[in-house]
Amino acid sequence: MTITDTNYLQQVAQLGDMQSVTCTENILTSEGVKLLPKGARINRDVIDRLLHHKLLKPIDFTTHIENAVDHDTLIGIGCELMARTSETGTLLRILRNEGFVEQSCQRIHLELPIQNKLTVAYNLRPELLEHSLRVSLAITLIGEELKLPEKELEVLATAGLLHDIGELHLGVGDLPLEQNLDLEHWQQVRSHPIVGATILNQFKAYTPQVARAVQEHHERLDGSGYPQGLKAIRLSRAGRLLSFTEMAIGALRKYSLRQLLTIIKSNPHAFDSKPVSVFLDALHRFENSGSLKAAEVRTKDLTALFELISKMILTAEAIAKDRTDQQQDSEPCLIDSAVVKYNQGLRRAGLDIKDVSGSLANIGDDQ
């Protein structure tokens, strides 16, 4: 498959306006014409020169990005994710100790060009990198629970982190995924596993199992997935594990663990029973730990507090509106300015005092 670099080149140039991105060798066209010399900086001032030509080598093979994402970066992000009070962070702390994140991240193989891509994601699409690292940690945990050999855990950890790397070349992050996609947009979405696998196949250091798992991460055992609609017998073990893990971690960005259980039960033939069993056991341990009850109490407290604040602000607005024009002209009212400030602060937080239930429903659990 031919990879279109336009979207990715534009992101590299955007990053080049933020920090140093330099050529490690001459950048040449496929015909051997020099576009940029070694040592030149890449930013949006030179992007047109690159976009109008087919490059001899992919841009990541001829550039260096300062402060590139490495294992220490991943460990730092992973520890922060594990420390969060979300259900997923709490569940991870119940199942593993602090050393788990470092051990898991060290299993990931990082080629320098791949580090460039992760650095672009880290700076321009941090939600993509966080999601990918969550998947990597989760699938490693599942592999450990299934007592898979170390070499296979390395495949799982690496494929988990790199499963969505093809998105960087397709502009998938800019698509209106909450709406119905037209055919062109849907084709972009369904091609990102193939693009990711194609990228990884450029490196001998990445085993074929890693690229295959990446290509299969949206397939389903009943053949309802994409990009090829493969059924169980044609999927690799790593692909089957990644298919479930990516779905679960993606769902937990919007839904609770109990809601995820409902999703799994509603699709009994779509996912491998082994990772499902690991999840069910983890959910059982989570519920028995008392964390679920504590989370429910926090939600009730938050709801009651927001309802009280909403009533107070609406009452204050009513008092301010009841003042006559003469009173408004002659007597300063501190309520007016206070109400405005409170409303502005709540709106910045995504809260609407006139829609308490809707606002609370939109609050993420920082999954």
Residue 38 lies in a domain: yes
Has residue 321 been placed in a domain?
A: yes
- Position 315 pLDDT exceeds 80: no
Q: How many CA atoms lie within 13 A of 95 on its CB side?
A: 26
Contact 51, 6 (CB under 8 A): yes
Please write the tens of the pLDDT for every residue from 130-142. 999 999 999 999 9
Check residue 71 and give its pLDDT: 98
Among 178-192, 231-245, 277-291, which stretch is predicted with the lowest mean pLDDT? 178-192
Q: Which is higher by pLDDT, 316 or 112?
A: 112
55 or 321, greater pLDDT: 55
The pLDDT, as a whole number, for residue 85 is 85
Q: Is the pLDDT of residue 305 over 80?
A: no
Taking residues 238-248, what's their average pLDDT? 97
> If you search the block for the tokens 């910045």, which residue do you land on?
348
State how far the Cα of 164 lies from the Cα of 350, in Å rounded to an integer. Answer: 28
Q: What is the pLDDT of residue 158?
A: 98
How far does Cα 142 stand from its chain's mean position?
19
Domain boundary pick from 33, 65, 97: 65
| pLDDT value for 3 | 64
311 pLDDT higher than 60:
yes
The verdict on residue 14 lying in a domain is yes
- Do 284 and 213 fall into the same domain? yes
Q: What angle do CA 206, 210, 214 make, to 5 degrees?
A: 130
pLDDT value for 235: 97
Residue in the structure block whose two tokens are 């169980």: 232
Are 263 and 316 in a shared domain? no
pLDDT band, very low/low/confident/very high, at 289 (cuts 50, 70, 90): confident
| CA proximity to 30, closest of 61, 55, 9, 3 | 55
The answer to whether residues 141 and 95 touch, using CB atoms and an 8 Å cutoff, is: yes
Cα–Cα distance, 89 to 81 (Å, whole number): 6
Tokens 């299969």 map to which residue? 216
| pLDDT 10s digits, 113-135 | 999 999 999 999 999 999 999 99
pLDDT of residue 61: 96
170 in a domain, yes or no?
yes
**Residue 365 banded pLDDT, cuts 50, 70, 90:** very low
Query: Do the beta carbons of residue 109 and residue 310 sit within 8 Å?
Result: no
Q: What pTM value is reported for the model?
A: 0.78
What local confidence, expressed as pLDDT, does residue 183 receive? 67
- Cα angle 12, 211, 63 (rounded to 5 degrees) comes to 25
Closest CA to 319 of 334, 304, 341, 306: 334
The reply to whether 116 and 189 lie within a common domain is yes
Q: How many domains does the chain have?
A: 3
In a domain? residue 295: no
Res 348 pLDDT > 90: no
Angle at the Cα of 41 from the Cα atoms of 35 and 43, rounded to 5 degrees: 90
Which residue, 65, 85, 101, sits at the end of a domain?
A: 65
* pLDDT score at 115: 98
Looking at the domain assignment, is residue 228 inside a domain?
yes
Q: What was the pLDDT predicted at 358?
A: 62
CA nearest 244: which of 254, 258, 295, 222?
222
At 104, list the tokens. 């898991």
pLDDT at 303: 62
H or E element in which residue 21 lies: strand 21-23
pLDDT at 227: 94
**What is the mean predicted confidence (pLDDT) over 2-11?**
83
Q: Say which CATH number the domain at 192 has.
A: 1.10.3210.10
Q: Where are the alpha helices (DSSP H) in the chain?
A: 6-16, 47-51, 71-83, 87-95, 99-106, 112-124, 126-145, 150-162, 183-200, 208-215, 237-251, 257-266, 273-288, 291-321, 325-330, 334-348, 356-362
Mean pLDDT of the 217-227 span: 95
Residues 263 and 173 in one domain: yes
Q: Same domain, yes or no, for 106 and 153?
A: yes
Least confident interval from 200-209, 258-267, 288-297, 356-365: 356-365
**329 and 202, same structural domain?**
no
- 248 and 176 in a common domain: yes
Does residue 136 sit within a domain?
Answer: yes
Q: In terms of pLDDT, which residue wins out, 324 or 362? A: 324
Q: How many CA atoms lie within 13 A of 103 on its CB side?
A: 11
27 strand-pairing partners:
36
Q: 232, 262, 288 — which closes off a domain?
A: 288
Q: Which amino acid is at 345?
A: G
**pLDDT score, position 367:** 41
pLDDT in tens, 162-196: 999 999 998 766 555 455 556 666 777 889 999 99
Across the chain, mean pLDDT equals: 85
Confidence of residue 324 (pLDDT cuts 50, 70, 90): low
Q: Structure tokens of 255?
A: 């839904």
Contact 66, 19 (CB under 8 A): yes
- C-alpha to C-alpha distances, 255 to 85, 87, 176, 248, nearest whole angstrom: 15, 10, 20, 10
- Domain limits at 150? 71-288
Q: What is the pLDDT of residue 297?
A: 47
**Between 109 and 335, whose confidence is greater?**
109
Domain identity same for 203 and 307 = no
53 vs 327, higher pLDDT? 53
Torsion-angle region of residue 223: left (phi > 0), alpha (psi -120 to 50) or beta? left
Query: For the chain, what percent of residues have pLDDT higher than 70?
Result: 74
296 in any annotated domain:
no
Q: Tell me: pLDDT of 101 over 80.
A: yes
- Residue 75 to residue 108: CA distance in whole angstroms: 11
Please tell me whether residues 236 and 318 are part of one structural domain.
no
Give backbone dihedrals phi and psi of 28, rounded to 5 degrees, phi first: -115, 155
- Tell me which residue has tokens 């995504």: 350
Same domain, 237 and 209: yes
Q: Do residues 117 and 133 share a domain?
A: yes
Same-domain check for residues 193 and 273 = yes
